[in-house]
Structure 1
Amino acid sequence: MRQALPHAWLLAEAIEWLQGAGRLQRQFFQLGRSGDLPLWEPPVDMFGNEQAICLLIALPGVAAERMDVRLEQQAVVVRGERSLAGHFAAGTILQLEIPYGRFERRVPLPYDDYRVADMVLQDGCLRLTLERMS
């Protein structure tokens, strides 16, 4: 077991690459969709135990009134829109890495009876705390 420890960095790096690839796939392979369908998915961190789940959803530049949070069939769904800031619209885009437009993220939950106990939008992240009802 002690011999495997020097190679632990390799596993950690592989996991990081896989997570990055998943984020890129969710973000960019949906850009061609049109209409009312979402164009991108925000990244989510989720922590929990048997009583509650806490989600941290990255939503840089999204105003609270431009999003909707719902509990639906054993999932939490966050929808909304990130608009291109008005003061940038007049200039030429030189680089655009932060996604704009409609977004939706559906996060499956391990159980189906939750209630939203706390919801805070701060520093570009939405923190949701869901308490298990049963």
Structure 2
Amino acid sequence: MPPKDPINWMLSDAIETLARAERLHQQFLNLQPLAGSREPSWEPPIDVLETDSEVLIFIALPGVDPNEVKAVIDQGILVVSGHRVLPPELRNARILRLELPQGRFERRIKLPLGRYTITRFAANGCVGLRLARS
């Protein structure tokens, strides 16, 4: 089999990278109403870490109070939801750029089997959820 043409390989790689970026963008800004809701929602990015005693979830929600985030476990799925709204100081401002999504958000996260106790905390612009195994 002859070696791949570098131009075609680079073009193919660039197209795949653009397609992957578009998929991530659509996932992040999923403005379709979620099942059981009439209101459009977006999905914030997350990190999920597991230790022997807990599952830690960091949700990129700058400016959102952890106590205003709803977190419910339903049949092994953690459903995290709430609203991100403009701070009161910006309501009368002229917006030059608005990249952080506003409005209703919801994220569904499949959990490892177990029973959990949920604790919320703030961490460097993220809402943190500590799911201690019980």
Structure 2 length normalisation: TM-score? 0.70
**What is aligned with 2:111?**
109
Deviates more, 1:68-77 or 1:46-55: 46-55
Change (3 A) 1:90 1:77: same
Residues 75/81 of structure 1: CA separation in 2 closer, same or farther (3 Å cut): same
Deviates more, 1:121-130 or 1:99-108: 121-130
Instruction: Report the equivalent of 1:9.
Output: none
Deviation of 1:38 (Å): 4.4
Query: What are the superposed Cα offsets for residues 21-44 of structure 1, whole Å, 9 maximum, x if unpaired?
Result: 55412222x235497534211111
Within 2, Cα distance between the matches of 1:67 and 1:48? 21
Aligned partner (choices 97, 100, 104) of residue 99 of structure 2: 97
- Pick one of 57, 60, 83 that aligns with 1:58: 60
Residue 53 of structure 1 deviates from its aligned partner by: 1.7
1:47 and 1:21 mapped to 2: Cα distance? 26
Matches within 5 A, 1:10-49: 18=20, 21-28=22-29, 30-31=30-31, 33=33, 36-49=38-51
SS across alignment from 2:117: strand
Following superposition, the deviation at residue 71 of structure 1 comes to 1.4
Cα distance in 2, alignment partners of residues 31 and 92 from structure 1: 24
- Percent identity (aligned): 33
SS in 2 for 1:91: coil
Q: 3-state SS of the aligned residue for 2:80? A: strand
Q: 1:89 to 1:32 in 2, by over 3 A?
A: farther
Give, in angstroms, the shift of residue 77 of structure 1. 1.3
Contact 1:79 1:103 in 2 (8 A): yes
- Deviations along 1:27-72, one digit per CA (max 9) or x if unpaired, are 22x2354975342111111111564321111111112342211111
Distance 1:42 1:104 in 2: 8
Task: Name the structure 1 match of 2:123.
Answer: 122
Q: What one-letter code is carried by the residue in structure 1 that aligns with 2:131?
A: L
Aligned residue number for residue 10 of structure 2:
none
Stretch deviating more after TM superposition (99-108 or 60-69): 60-69
Question: For the aligned residues, what is the CA RMSD?
Answer: 2.9
Rounded to whole Å, the distance in 2 between the matches of 1:42 and 1:110 is 21
Q: Work out the CA distance in 1 between the residues paired with 2:125 and 2:40.
A: 19
Q: TM-score, normalised by structure 1?
A: 0.70
User: Equivalent residue of 1:41, what SS?
Assistant: coil
